[in-house]
Amino acid sequence: MSRIAPAEPWAVREIGLPSDDAGRRQAESLFALANGHIGLRGNLDEPQPCGMPGTFLNSLYEERELTYPEAGYAFPERTETIVNAPNGKPITLTVGGEPFDLETGELRRHERVLDLRAGTLTREAVWVSPGGVEVRLRSVRVVSFRRPSVAAIRYTVDADAELRVDSDLMVDEAQPPPRDDPRASAVIADAFVPVFHDRDLLVHRTRRSGITVAVAVTHTGHDGEIVTGPDRLRWTATAHGSLSFDKILAYGWDGLDQRDQALADRDAAARAGFDELLAEQRAYLDDFWAYADIELDGDDEVQQGTRFGLFHVLQAGAQAGPHPIPAKGLTGNGYDGHTLWDNETYVLPVLTYTHPACVGQALRWRHSTLDQARSRARELRLDGAAFPWRTISGPECSGYWPAGTAALHINADIADAVLRYHAATGDDTFMREAGDELIAETARLWRKVAYLDEEGVAHIAGVTGPDEYTALMDDNVYTNLMARRNLRAAALDEVSGHIADRLAVPYSPRREVHEQSAGFTRLDEWKSFDDESYPLMLHHHYLNLYRKQVVKQADLVLAMVMCGDEFTRDEKRRNFEYYEARTVRDSSLSAPMQAVLAAELDHLSLAHAYLSEAALLDLRAGGESGGDGLHIAACAGAWIAVVMGFGGLRDSGGRLALSPKIPPGLTRLRFRLRWRGAALCVTVTPGVVTYQADGPISFRHYDSETSLRAGEEATFKLDPVDDLPAPPTPRPPTPPG
């Protein structure tokens, strides 16, 4: 039985081995290493025991048909599914003629450590074979940030016996069947056909999508024999007493010179050596943490979870361009490896303020798919571009249109990410080459979709907002407000401005709250929260969910976070209390935004609880299963809860603003962010906030304009918080469960 050790500030430590398949899959996601380009799930070195093998290359996918009980116009006919790439992780050990098998013999010690500063996964094991031989094994795994195509393993074993190691590069491993969950990936067997093999290289091509992938491998530090075939390359080494070697892999795909590129990158990494790869990795992460780190004194678990989340956000996005950032990163095959709308709304904001080079690449990838989005808009009889709900290479891959195609807000989410990135970086070159066109083409869709009624009010009808339990509604507030921002930024023509100014924002005078969508507050209430098993979508038909006031994830709350200037504080308070009682958080996207608004409204303990939910969703038991990959948006959500919640970060109108607070459970919090080439460090303790800048920076502290020069520091008293020691109103009720 394994357990995650007590929280450490800069590491995640697993002691022992998971005892079942679910535990193995979860651990394999937690201990995945990636760089946005390639990803290795945290499988053990030896092939078994294994929950779900996984080596993933960003945008290495296979096509498959989408079938429908009843066909319909413009239904996507094909989808894309990420495939398990040629796997270079397996290393099989034989000791004195007996296989190193953790399910036999005596396992005296087994420990794995994900080091968030070194960017490595280290494994140590002490095992006694059935024949009585004690074996000490240590491996260190790295996926290079500096060398996007390179991964490497250092493997060392000591035992008083004859040792044999078989180190494999293998293709088309057997995959476990998919989970019975609509969020799980399809499983594609035999995805590849062989193209070429040599003593240090395998080249394959996917059967339908036609993507060629080349993998080059070398072993240094010990002599061995190589046997190779079309689908497997095996390096075998023997020794007595001790054996140590470095295994270096390089991948090339999705280009014209995959074979030459893989060989060149492998050789360059081998010349540098494993120790240099580790040094490069540490230097890269030192630079990242200097601008991204969050310090939380008083909550060790959330401290660990927040850094764990930031590390995986970086792993998902560091080398994403010219590819997307998948919802699971490269930690698993969940959601078929698709990128979703939460990339622009959750992941890119975090990277904008911590590692903005990633964001420029990610948005340029969106721009590279613009022609496909234009084509989809024409197919839907719309103008401009209609960006896909789910995709890998650009086409719409969602077969369920009420929660896919109808969720037009993805257009505004992309435009918002462009505006935020430009405001934070001043990257005018990006705007000329990609950003301006993205804003204009996304806005043209709203110009076509919106219409004016006989009273001159503009509406967007029949859409699905962020809440997937309320579909095909009119005037979703989040969609309308984000579309308004998109239209105003594009400034296409006078008509577009007129529509933006007149877009409806539904409000219920009787309830004194905004309606998530028109008529939402008149729907029947959900009456059985106490008796429910969650998530509701696995136990109720959407026909039932769509007709009730039950919310899967923050929707109107998200609107109040992203478009806060459109609401008064009193409106936010009433809205928050109303929707808290109806939000079941069946989505990992909900807690971060609920944390932000709870903090803004001075429900600081509640905000701290939601921060904990986001930070520990995958890391600790009790959250959604992460066995098919981590929830990268929830990983980003921990930063959002801290910096936008307790830090009060807002960027409305391209201006940086901060309104810091600190919850009762913390004695100090500190975060960093980047803005226009400068770094700002914000330290908050009860009653006081201190700002330190390494370059010129201007921002609003509460309602006061503040400017700092390089090396300058400023300290202010915190504004009093109403709910210390008692909240202004009782803590809003939430659904049981």
Half-sphere exposure of 207 (CA within 13 A, CB side): 10
- Determine how β-strand 192-198 pairs with β-strand 201-206: antiparallel
Smallest CA-to-CA distance from 208 within 82, 81, 63, 338 is with 63
What's residue 529's pLDDT? 79
DSSP codes, 481-494? HHHHHHHHHH---H
Q: In terms of C-beta density within 10 A (0-12 exposed, 13-18 middle, 19 or more buried), how is residue 21 classed?
A: middle
Q: Which stretches of 427-573 are assigned E, i.e. beta strand?
A: 451-452, 458-459, 507-508, 513-514, 524-525, 548-549
What's residue 2's pLDDT? 66
What's residue 724's pLDDT? 42
Whole-number Å distance between alpha carbons of 643 and 474 = 33
Q: Is the peptide bond before 725 cis (omega within 30 degrees of 0)?
A: yes
The structure tokens 């991204």 sit at 292
Whole-number Å distance between alpha carbons of 389 and 712 = 45
What's residue 671's pLDDT? 98
Angle 463-469-475 from CA coordinates, rounded to 5°: 30
What's residue 89's pLDDT? 97
Smallest CA-to-CA distance from 438 within 391, 368, 495 is with 368
What's residue 726's pLDDT? 45
What's residue 687's pLDDT? 93
Which one is catalytic: 62, 63, 344, 468? 468
* CATH number of the 293-690 domain: 1.50.10.10
The three-state secondary structure class of 169 is strand
Domain boundaries, the chain: 3-290, 293-690
- Determine how β-strand 232-253 pairs with β-strand 225-228: antiparallel
What's residue 184's pLDDT? 66
Q: What is the pLDDT of residues 582-617, one digit of tens each?
A: 999 999 999 999 999 999 999 999 999 999 999 999
Half-sphere exposure of 564 (CA within 13 A, CB side): 19
Q: Which CATH class is domain 3-290?
A: mainly beta
What's residue 533's pLDDT? 85
Per residue, what are the HEC states of 176-202? Answer: CCCCCCCCCCCCCCCCEEEEEEECCEE
| Average pLDDT by stretches of 10, the chain with 737 residues | 86 95 94 97 96 95 93 94 96 97 95 98 98 98 97 98 98 78 74 95 96 98 97 98 98 88 97 98 98 98 98 93 92 96 97 96 97 98 97 95 94 98 98 98 98 97 96 97 98 94 98 98 88 86 93 97 97 97 93 98 96 93 70 97 98 92 96 97 97 97 96 93 52 77
Half-sphere exposure of 619 (CA within 13 A, CB side): 29
Pairs from 220-228 (Cβ < 8 Å, separation ≥ 24): 220/245, 220/246, 220/248, 220/270, 220/273, 220/274, 221/245, 221/246, 224/165, 224/167, 226/199, 226/200, 228/197, 228/198, 228/199, 228/202
Whole-number Å distance between alpha carbons of 196 and 554 = 50
Is residue 433 annotated as part of the catalytic site, yes or no? no
Kindly give, in sequence order, each residue whose CB lies less than 8 Å from that of residue 467, ignoring residues fewer than 6 positions away: 516, 551, 552, 553, 554, 555
Q: Is the peptide bond before 535 cis (omega within 30 degrees of 0)?
A: yes
Give the residues across from 82 on adjacent strands: 61
